Amino acid sequence: MKDVESTRYSQRALLFALLVSCLQPAISQTCAPAQGQTTPATVTCGGNCGPGCTPSSGATSGTITDNPNVAYYSYNLNCWWLIATSPGVEIRISFTEFETETYDLVVVQRCSDASCSAPTEILRQSGSHPGTNEYSSSTGFLKVIFTSDHVFLASGWTLTWTTLPRCLCVSGYTGPDGGTCTACAAGTYKSVTGSAACTNCAAGKSAAAGASACTICAAGWYALPVADGLVGLNSNIARSRLEEWTAQGVSGWKMGSVGESCSTACINSGLSCYPLVISEGEASAILASLGWKLTQDLQVNQVIHAGVNCNGDGVMWSTCWVNTVLPPTCGALPFVSLSMRMLCACGNGVTCGLCLAGKYKTATGSAACDDCAAGRYSTTVGASAAATCIGCGAGKYSTTVGASLAATCSDCGAGKYSMNLGASSASSCVDCGAGTYSTTVGASAAATCIGCGAGKYSTTVGASICSDCGAGKYSK
Protein backbone atom coordinates (compact mmCIF):
# COMPACT_ATOMS: atom_id res chain seq x y z
CA MET A 1 0.00 0.00 0.00
CA LYS A 2 2.83 2.47 0.85
CA ASP A 3 4.36 1.79 -2.62
CA VAL A 4 1.05 2.62 -4.23
CA GLU A 5 0.76 5.85 -2.25
CA SER A 6 4.39 6.70 -3.06
CA THR A 7 3.60 6.34 -6.76
CA ARG A 8 0.57 8.59 -6.36
CA TYR A 9 2.70 11.24 -4.57
CA SER A 10 5.25 11.13 -7.44
CA GLN A 11 2.51 11.61 -10.01
CA ARG A 12 1.09 14.52 -8.05
CA ALA A 13 4.54 16.07 -7.69
CA LEU A 14 5.09 15.92 -11.46
CA LEU A 15 1.73 17.55 -12.17
CA PHE A 16 2.37 20.29 -9.60
CA ALA A 17 5.84 20.95 -11.01
CA LEU A 18 4.28 21.49 -14.44
CA LEU A 19 1.75 23.86 -12.89
CA VAL A 20 4.42 25.87 -11.12
CA SER A 21 6.44 26.24 -14.32
CA CYS A 22 3.48 28.11 -15.87
CA LEU A 23 3.21 30.65 -13.07
CA GLN A 24 4.41 34.22 -13.67
CA PRO A 25 7.19 35.58 -11.43
CA ALA A 26 6.19 37.78 -8.53
CA ILE A 27 5.54 41.40 -9.42
CA SER A 28 6.78 44.02 -6.99
CA GLN A 29 4.98 47.32 -6.53
CA THR A 30 6.55 50.60 -5.43
CA CYS A 31 4.61 53.69 -4.44
CA ALA A 32 5.64 57.11 -5.72
CA PRO A 33 7.27 59.60 -3.28
CA ALA A 34 3.94 61.39 -2.80
CA GLN A 35 2.23 58.14 -1.87
CA GLY A 36 2.11 55.93 1.19
CA GLN A 37 1.31 52.31 1.93
CA THR A 38 -1.72 51.37 4.01
CA THR A 39 -2.62 47.70 3.51
CA PRO A 40 -3.28 45.84 6.77
CA ALA A 41 -5.31 42.63 6.72
CA THR A 42 -7.33 40.56 9.17
CA VAL A 43 -7.07 36.76 9.40
CA THR A 44 -10.01 34.79 10.82
CA CYS A 45 -10.29 31.01 10.96
CA GLY A 46 -12.47 28.12 12.09
CA GLY A 47 -12.89 24.35 12.11
CA ASN A 48 -10.96 21.67 14.00
CA CYS A 49 -7.30 22.45 13.19
CA GLY A 50 -6.62 23.49 16.79
CA PRO A 51 -3.35 25.48 17.08
CA GLY A 52 -3.40 25.96 13.31
CA CYS A 53 -6.22 28.49 13.78
CA THR A 54 -4.52 31.68 14.93
CA PRO A 55 -6.53 34.86 14.16
CA SER A 56 -4.67 38.13 13.64
CA SER A 57 -5.32 41.74 12.60
CA GLY A 58 -3.39 44.84 11.55
CA ALA A 59 -0.53 42.95 9.89
CA THR A 60 0.51 43.16 6.23
CA SER A 61 1.99 39.65 6.11
CA GLY A 62 1.94 36.39 8.04
CA THR A 63 2.05 32.59 8.03
CA ILE A 64 -0.76 29.99 8.02
CA THR A 65 -0.24 26.24 8.62
CA ASP A 66 -2.42 23.20 9.28
CA ASN A 67 -0.86 22.65 12.73
CA PRO A 68 2.49 24.07 13.84
CA ASN A 69 2.88 21.70 16.79
CA VAL A 70 2.80 18.24 15.15
CA ALA A 71 4.83 16.40 12.52
CA TYR A 72 1.71 15.05 10.81
CA TYR A 73 -1.74 16.56 10.61
CA SER A 74 -4.77 14.71 12.04
CA TYR A 75 -7.54 12.62 10.52
CA ASN A 76 -10.94 14.06 9.59
CA LEU A 77 -9.94 17.73 9.56
CA ASN A 78 -12.20 20.43 8.17
CA CYS A 79 -10.63 23.88 8.65
CA TRP A 80 -10.69 27.31 6.97
CA TRP A 81 -8.76 30.59 7.06
CA LEU A 82 -10.04 33.90 5.63
CA ILE A 83 -7.63 36.76 4.83
CA ALA A 84 -9.55 40.07 4.49
CA THR A 85 -8.37 43.55 3.54
CA SER A 86 -9.66 46.58 1.61
CA PRO A 87 -11.14 46.00 -1.86
CA GLY A 88 -8.55 46.57 -4.56
CA VAL A 89 -5.66 45.56 -2.33
CA GLU A 90 -3.95 42.45 -3.66
CA ILE A 91 -3.54 39.49 -1.29
CA ARG A 92 -0.84 37.01 -2.31
CA ILE A 93 -0.08 33.58 -0.84
CA SER A 94 2.79 31.21 -1.52
CA PHE A 95 3.22 27.65 -0.18
CA THR A 96 6.60 27.02 1.41
CA GLU A 97 5.73 23.42 2.39
CA PHE A 98 3.17 21.09 0.81
CA GLU A 99 2.76 17.35 1.44
CA THR A 100 -0.68 15.82 1.80
CA GLU A 101 -2.23 12.40 1.26
CA THR A 102 -3.88 12.03 -2.13
CA TYR A 103 -7.39 12.58 -0.88
CA ASP A 104 -6.56 15.32 1.62
CA LEU A 105 -7.24 18.60 -0.17
CA VAL A 106 -6.14 22.24 0.10
CA VAL A 107 -8.57 24.59 -1.66
CA VAL A 108 -7.92 28.31 -2.28
CA GLN A 109 -10.83 30.63 -3.15
CA ARG A 110 -11.34 34.25 -4.15
CA CYS A 111 -14.37 35.70 -2.37
CA SER A 112 -16.40 38.85 -2.94
CA ASP A 113 -17.33 39.22 0.73
CA ALA A 114 -16.58 37.78 4.15
CA SER A 115 -19.26 35.13 3.82
CA CYS A 116 -17.59 33.76 0.68
CA SER A 117 -21.02 32.65 -0.51
CA ALA A 118 -20.09 32.72 -4.20
CA PRO A 119 -16.37 31.84 -4.32
CA THR A 120 -14.09 31.50 -7.33
CA GLU A 121 -11.83 28.49 -6.86
CA ILE A 122 -8.22 29.19 -7.89
CA LEU A 123 -6.55 26.05 -6.46
CA ARG A 124 -7.58 22.52 -5.51
CA GLN A 125 -4.43 20.58 -4.62
CA SER A 126 -3.21 17.44 -2.88
CA GLY A 127 0.05 15.51 -2.91
CA SER A 128 3.35 17.42 -2.95
CA HIS A 129 5.27 19.99 -4.97
CA PRO A 130 8.98 20.80 -5.25
CA GLY A 131 8.96 24.55 -6.01
CA THR A 132 7.51 27.91 -5.12
CA ASN A 133 4.09 29.07 -6.28
CA GLU A 134 1.85 32.07 -5.93
CA TYR A 135 -1.90 32.73 -5.83
CA SER A 136 -3.63 36.08 -5.42
CA SER A 137 -6.92 37.90 -4.99
CA SER A 138 -7.73 41.61 -5.46
CA THR A 139 -11.32 41.36 -4.26
CA GLY A 140 -10.30 42.04 -0.65
CA PHE A 141 -10.87 38.40 0.45
CA LEU A 142 -8.97 35.13 0.00
CA LYS A 143 -10.00 31.86 1.70
CA VAL A 144 -8.00 28.69 2.32
CA ILE A 145 -9.80 25.41 3.16
CA PHE A 146 -8.15 22.13 4.28
CA THR A 147 -9.87 18.74 4.65
CA SER A 148 -8.43 15.31 5.48
CA ASP A 149 -10.01 11.85 5.44
CA HIS A 150 -9.69 8.95 7.88
CA VAL A 151 -6.80 7.07 6.20
CA PHE A 152 -3.12 7.92 5.71
CA LEU A 153 -1.44 11.12 6.87
CA ALA A 154 1.35 13.41 5.69
CA SER A 155 3.50 16.25 7.03
CA GLY A 156 1.03 18.93 5.89
CA TRP A 157 1.51 22.39 4.46
CA THR A 158 2.56 25.95 5.33
CA LEU A 159 1.93 29.16 3.38
CA THR A 160 3.00 32.76 3.72
CA TRP A 161 0.68 35.63 2.84
CA THR A 162 1.21 39.33 2.17
CA THR A 163 -0.76 42.34 1.00
CA LEU A 164 0.78 44.45 -1.76
CA PRO A 165 1.19 48.15 -1.06
CA ARG A 166 -1.90 50.14 -1.91
CA CYS A 167 -0.55 53.48 -3.08
CA LEU A 168 -2.49 56.29 -1.39
CA CYS A 169 -1.86 60.02 -1.54
CA VAL A 170 -0.11 61.17 1.62
CA SER A 171 -0.95 64.34 3.52
CA GLY A 172 -0.41 67.44 1.42
CA TYR A 173 -1.33 65.58 -1.79
CA THR A 174 -4.66 64.57 -3.31
CA GLY A 175 -5.79 62.13 -5.98
CA PRO A 176 -7.63 58.83 -6.43
CA ASP A 177 -6.42 55.77 -4.54
CA GLY A 178 -3.80 54.07 -6.66
CA GLY A 179 -3.73 57.01 -9.07
CA THR A 180 -1.65 60.13 -9.56
CA CYS A 181 -1.16 62.38 -6.56
CA THR A 182 -1.11 66.16 -6.99
CA ALA A 183 0.24 68.60 -4.41
CA CYS A 184 -2.36 70.73 -2.65
CA ALA A 185 -2.27 74.25 -4.08
CA ALA A 186 -0.90 77.15 -2.07
CA GLY A 187 -3.51 78.25 0.46
CA THR A 188 -4.93 74.73 0.83
CA TYR A 189 -3.96 71.69 2.89
CA LYS A 190 -4.70 68.01 3.49
CA SER A 191 -3.84 66.38 6.80
CA VAL A 192 -4.84 62.77 6.09
CA THR A 193 -3.71 59.94 3.82
CA GLY A 194 -6.13 58.94 1.06
CA SER A 195 -8.22 60.45 -1.71
CA ALA A 196 -9.75 63.34 0.25
CA ALA A 197 -9.69 66.76 -1.39
CA CYS A 198 -7.49 69.60 -0.21
CA THR A 199 -9.20 72.14 2.06
CA ASN A 200 -8.89 75.93 1.93
CA CYS A 201 -6.98 77.50 4.79
CA ALA A 202 -9.15 79.57 7.12
CA ALA A 203 -8.80 83.33 7.21
CA GLY A 204 -5.66 84.26 9.07
CA LYS A 205 -3.79 81.16 7.95
CA SER A 206 -1.70 80.24 4.94
CA ALA A 207 0.02 77.23 3.43
CA ALA A 208 2.63 76.60 0.78
CA ALA A 209 1.94 74.08 -1.98
CA GLY A 210 1.88 70.50 -0.67
CA ALA A 211 1.08 71.50 2.90
CA SER A 212 -0.42 69.12 5.45
CA ALA A 213 -1.50 71.97 7.72
CA CYS A 214 -2.08 75.71 7.54
CA THR A 215 0.13 78.13 9.40
CA ILE A 216 -1.27 81.06 11.34
CA CYS A 217 -0.38 84.38 9.74
CA ALA A 218 2.91 85.31 11.34
CA ALA A 219 3.80 88.60 12.95
CA GLY A 220 4.14 91.12 10.15
CA TRP A 221 1.45 89.33 8.11
CA TYR A 222 -2.31 89.84 8.03
CA ALA A 223 -5.28 87.89 6.71
CA LEU A 224 -6.31 88.83 3.18
CA PRO A 225 -10.05 88.99 2.45
CA VAL A 226 -11.47 85.64 1.35
CA ALA A 227 -14.54 84.37 -0.48
CA ASP A 228 -17.22 85.97 1.68
CA GLY A 229 -16.65 89.17 -0.29
CA LEU A 230 -16.35 92.87 0.28
CA VAL A 231 -19.62 94.78 0.09
CA GLY A 232 -20.04 98.45 -0.81
CA LEU A 233 -16.65 99.10 -2.37
CA ASN A 234 -16.48 102.03 -4.76
CA SER A 235 -14.37 101.74 -7.88
CA ASN A 236 -11.37 103.50 -6.37
CA ILE A 237 -11.35 101.24 -3.32
CA ALA A 238 -11.94 98.20 -5.52
CA ARG A 239 -8.98 99.13 -7.67
CA SER A 240 -6.87 99.81 -4.60
CA ARG A 241 -7.84 96.42 -3.21
CA LEU A 242 -6.90 94.77 -6.49
CA GLU A 243 -3.51 96.49 -6.39
CA GLU A 244 -3.05 95.26 -2.84
CA TRP A 245 -3.94 91.68 -3.76
CA THR A 246 -1.66 91.85 -6.79
CA ALA A 247 1.22 92.89 -4.54
CA GLN A 248 0.49 89.85 -2.37
CA GLY A 249 0.32 87.40 -5.27
CA VAL A 250 -3.36 87.49 -6.27
CA SER A 251 -3.54 87.03 -10.01
CA GLY A 252 -6.26 89.42 -11.20
CA TRP A 253 -9.82 89.61 -12.46
CA LYS A 254 -12.07 86.76 -13.54
CA MET A 255 -15.48 87.51 -14.97
CA GLY A 256 -18.20 84.98 -14.24
CA SER A 257 -20.85 83.98 -16.75
CA VAL A 258 -24.43 85.01 -16.09
CA GLY A 259 -25.81 83.07 -13.16
CA GLU A 260 -22.33 81.92 -12.23
CA SER A 261 -21.14 82.87 -8.78
CA CYS A 262 -17.64 84.12 -8.15
CA SER A 263 -16.84 80.91 -6.31
CA THR A 264 -17.85 78.85 -9.33
CA ALA A 265 -16.07 81.13 -11.77
CA CYS A 266 -12.87 81.03 -9.80
CA ILE A 267 -13.00 77.31 -9.04
CA ASN A 268 -13.44 76.72 -12.76
CA SER A 269 -10.27 78.70 -13.32
CA GLY A 270 -8.43 76.68 -10.68
CA LEU A 271 -7.99 79.68 -8.41
CA SER A 272 -9.26 80.97 -5.09
CA CYS A 273 -12.11 83.50 -5.07
CA TYR A 274 -12.19 87.12 -3.93
CA PRO A 275 -15.55 88.64 -4.97
CA LEU A 276 -16.23 92.37 -5.08
CA VAL A 277 -19.86 93.50 -4.83
CA ILE A 278 -20.12 97.03 -6.22
CA SER A 279 -22.63 99.28 -7.92
CA GLU A 280 -23.41 99.15 -11.62
CA GLY A 281 -21.76 102.50 -12.28
CA GLU A 282 -18.63 101.56 -10.38
CA ALA A 283 -18.45 98.21 -12.14
CA SER A 284 -18.92 99.93 -15.50
CA ALA A 285 -15.92 102.18 -14.90
CA ILE A 286 -13.71 99.21 -14.03
CA LEU A 287 -14.97 97.09 -16.92
CA ALA A 288 -14.42 99.89 -19.42
CA SER A 289 -10.88 100.45 -18.20
CA LEU A 290 -10.18 96.72 -18.56
CA GLY A 291 -11.23 96.69 -22.23
CA TRP A 292 -14.77 95.37 -21.86
CA LYS A 293 -17.48 96.89 -24.04
CA LEU A 294 -21.23 97.24 -23.79
CA THR A 295 -23.20 95.14 -26.24
CA GLN A 296 -24.95 98.30 -27.45
CA ASP A 297 -21.57 99.61 -28.57
CA LEU A 298 -20.80 96.51 -30.63
CA GLN A 299 -22.02 95.64 -34.08
CA VAL A 300 -24.92 93.16 -34.11
CA ASN A 301 -22.87 90.55 -35.95
CA GLN A 302 -20.14 90.87 -33.35
CA VAL A 303 -22.63 90.16 -30.58
CA ILE A 304 -24.13 87.18 -32.40
CA HIS A 305 -20.70 85.81 -33.25
CA ALA A 306 -19.67 86.16 -29.63
CA GLY A 307 -22.71 84.12 -28.59
CA VAL A 308 -23.63 86.63 -25.92
CA ASN A 309 -27.01 86.08 -24.29
CA CYS A 310 -27.00 87.78 -20.94
CA ASN A 311 -30.30 86.70 -19.46
CA GLY A 312 -30.72 83.35 -21.18
CA ASP A 313 -34.00 84.16 -22.99
CA GLY A 314 -32.61 85.54 -26.25
CA VAL A 315 -32.85 89.23 -25.29
CA MET A 316 -29.64 91.20 -25.54
CA TRP A 317 -29.19 93.57 -22.62
CA SER A 318 -27.42 96.88 -23.08
CA THR A 319 -25.91 96.32 -19.64
CA CYS A 320 -24.20 93.13 -20.73
CA TRP A 321 -20.46 93.72 -20.92
CA VAL A 322 -18.48 91.57 -23.33
CA ASN A 323 -14.79 90.92 -22.85
CA THR A 324 -13.30 91.77 -26.23
CA VAL A 325 -9.76 91.36 -24.94
CA LEU A 326 -9.69 87.65 -24.17
CA PRO A 327 -9.78 85.22 -27.12
CA PRO A 328 -13.06 83.33 -27.76
CA THR A 329 -13.58 80.03 -25.94
CA CYS A 330 -15.68 77.47 -27.81
CA GLY A 331 -17.01 80.27 -30.00
CA ALA A 332 -18.28 82.45 -27.14
CA LEU A 333 -16.59 85.35 -25.38
CA PRO A 334 -16.75 85.62 -21.58
CA PHE A 335 -19.40 88.07 -20.42
CA VAL A 336 -21.01 89.41 -17.28
CA SER A 337 -24.41 90.96 -16.59
CA LEU A 338 -24.22 93.99 -14.37
CA SER A 339 -27.59 93.06 -12.93
CA MET A 340 -25.47 90.62 -10.93
CA ARG A 341 -23.35 93.54 -9.68
CA MET A 342 -20.52 91.11 -9.29
CA LEU A 343 -16.92 91.19 -10.35
CA CYS A 344 -14.61 88.40 -9.27
CA ALA A 345 -10.96 88.82 -8.46
CA CYS A 346 -9.47 85.34 -8.51
CA GLY A 347 -6.31 84.64 -6.55
CA ASN A 348 -3.74 81.91 -6.17
CA GLY A 349 -4.66 80.71 -2.67
CA VAL A 350 -2.74 83.42 -0.81
CA THR A 351 -4.50 84.06 2.49
CA CYS A 352 -1.80 85.89 4.45
CA GLY A 353 -0.32 89.13 3.15
CA LEU A 354 2.65 91.13 4.37
CA CYS A 355 1.75 94.24 6.31
CA LEU A 356 2.13 97.16 3.93
CA ALA A 357 4.54 100.00 4.56
CA GLY A 358 3.17 102.27 7.28
CA LYS A 359 1.77 99.30 9.18
CA TYR A 360 2.97 96.59 11.55
CA LYS A 361 1.64 93.55 13.39
CA THR A 362 3.27 92.12 16.49
CA ALA A 363 1.11 89.02 17.03
CA THR A 364 0.28 85.94 14.98
CA GLY A 365 -3.25 85.30 13.78
CA SER A 366 -5.87 86.88 11.56
CA ALA A 367 -5.92 90.34 13.13
CA ALA A 368 -5.37 93.34 10.87
CA CYS A 369 -2.08 95.19 10.79
CA ASP A 370 -1.83 98.24 13.02
CA ASP A 371 -1.17 101.66 11.51
CA CYS A 372 1.84 103.66 12.50
CA ALA A 373 0.50 106.45 14.70
CA ALA A 374 0.28 110.04 13.55
CA GLY A 375 3.71 111.62 13.82
CA ARG A 376 5.41 108.43 12.65
CA TYR A 377 6.05 106.58 9.40
CA SER A 378 7.52 103.29 8.22
CA THR A 379 8.93 102.25 4.84
CA THR A 380 9.22 98.60 5.97
CA VAL A 381 6.96 95.96 4.38
CA GLY A 382 6.07 93.10 6.74
CA ALA A 383 6.99 95.00 9.90
CA SER A 384 6.44 93.01 13.09
CA ALA A 385 7.15 95.68 15.72
CA ALA A 386 5.92 99.19 16.49
CA ALA A 387 9.55 100.26 16.69
CA THR A 388 9.73 100.15 12.90
CA CYS A 389 7.51 103.26 12.89
CA ILE A 390 9.97 106.15 12.90
CA GLY A 391 9.03 109.41 14.57
CA CYS A 392 9.11 112.64 12.59
CA GLY A 393 12.21 114.60 13.46
CA ALA A 394 12.36 117.79 15.54
CA GLY A 395 10.92 120.70 13.62
CA LYS A 396 8.42 118.41 11.84
CA TYR A 397 5.00 116.86 12.43
CA SER A 398 2.51 114.55 10.70
CA THR A 399 -1.21 114.15 11.15
CA THR A 400 -1.30 111.10 8.85
CA VAL A 401 -2.05 107.68 10.35
CA GLY A 402 -0.28 104.77 8.63
CA ALA A 403 2.24 106.97 6.83
CA SER A 404 4.77 105.13 4.67
CA LEU A 405 7.07 107.96 3.61
CA ALA A 406 9.34 110.36 5.46
CA ALA A 407 7.93 113.09 3.21
CA THR A 408 4.65 112.74 5.09
CA CYS A 409 6.29 114.69 7.92
CA SER A 410 5.63 118.40 7.36
CA ASP A 411 8.00 121.17 8.42
CA CYS A 412 7.07 123.73 11.04
CA GLY A 413 6.60 126.99 9.19
CA ALA A 414 8.90 130.01 9.37
CA GLY A 415 8.47 131.83 12.68
CA LYS A 416 7.93 128.54 14.50
CA TYR A 417 10.04 125.72 15.92
CA SER A 418 9.58 122.34 17.58
CA MET A 419 11.96 120.32 19.68
CA ASN A 420 9.55 117.37 19.89
CA LEU A 421 10.17 114.07 18.12
CA GLY A 422 7.18 112.27 16.60
CA ALA A 423 4.92 115.31 16.75
CA SER A 424 1.42 114.56 15.48
CA SER A 425 -0.08 118.02 14.97
CA ALA A 426 0.81 121.52 13.83
CA SER A 427 0.17 122.73 17.38
CA SER A 428 3.47 121.14 18.38
CA CYS A 429 5.22 123.94 16.48
CA VAL A 430 5.91 126.78 18.96
CA ASP A 431 5.68 130.41 17.87
CA CYS A 432 8.68 132.67 18.14
CA GLY A 433 7.93 135.29 20.77
CA ALA A 434 7.01 138.91 20.09
CA GLY A 435 10.06 140.93 19.12
CA THR A 436 11.66 137.88 17.53
CA TYR A 437 11.38 136.20 14.17
CA SER A 438 12.65 133.19 12.24
CA THR A 439 12.96 132.59 8.52
CA THR A 440 13.91 128.95 9.05
CA VAL A 441 11.44 126.31 7.87
CA GLY A 442 11.48 123.17 10.02
CA ALA A 443 13.32 124.88 12.87
CA SER A 444 14.13 122.53 15.75
CA ALA A 445 15.32 124.93 18.45
CA ALA A 446 14.23 128.20 20.12
CA ALA A 447 17.60 129.69 19.21
CA THR A 448 16.41 129.98 15.63
CA CYS A 449 14.12 132.77 16.82
CA ILE A 450 16.27 135.91 16.76
CA GLY A 451 15.48 139.42 17.93
CA CYS A 452 14.43 142.12 15.52
CA GLY A 453 17.39 144.34 14.57
CA ALA A 454 17.82 148.06 15.18
CA GLY A 455 15.06 150.05 13.55
CA LYS A 456 12.75 147.04 13.42
CA TYR A 457 10.07 145.58 15.63
CA SER A 458 7.47 142.80 15.86
CA THR A 459 4.39 142.81 18.06
CA THR A 460 3.12 139.42 16.88
CA VAL A 461 4.15 135.93 17.82
CA GLY A 462 5.31 133.51 15.18
CA ALA A 463 6.71 136.23 12.97
CA SER A 464 8.92 135.37 10.06
CA ILE A 465 9.92 138.99 9.46
CA CYS A 466 10.20 142.19 11.50
CA SER A 467 8.59 145.48 10.53
CA ASP A 468 10.50 148.73 10.02
CA CYS A 469 10.01 151.61 12.46
CA GLY A 470 7.97 154.36 10.91
CA ALA A 471 9.32 157.75 9.71
CA GLY A 472 10.52 159.90 12.60
CA LYS A 473 10.99 156.86 14.82
CA TYR A 474 13.86 154.66 15.71
CA SER A 475 14.68 151.57 17.77
CA LYS A 476 18.01 150.66 19.33
Domains (ranges, CATH) in the chain?
2-21+32-165 (2.60.120.290), 167-216 (2.10.50.10), 226-350 (no CATH)
Give the confidence band of 208 by pLDDT, cuts at 50, 70, 90: confident
Give the span between the Cα atoms of 245 and 261, in whole angstroms.
Answer: 20
Range with top average pLDDT, 205-219, 333-347, 379-393:
379-393
Task: Over range 451-466, report the average pLDDT.
Answer: 90
Q: Residue 137 carries which side chain, given as an amino acid letter? A: S
Give the span between the Cα atoms of 168 and 195, in whole angstroms.
Answer: 7
Per-residue pLDDT at 354 exceeds 50: yes
Per-residue pLDDT at 24 exceeds 60: no
pTM over 0.75? The answer is no
Task: Identify the pLDDT of residue 463.
Answer: 93
Average pLDDT, the chain: 74
Per-residue pLDDT at 427 exceeds 90: yes
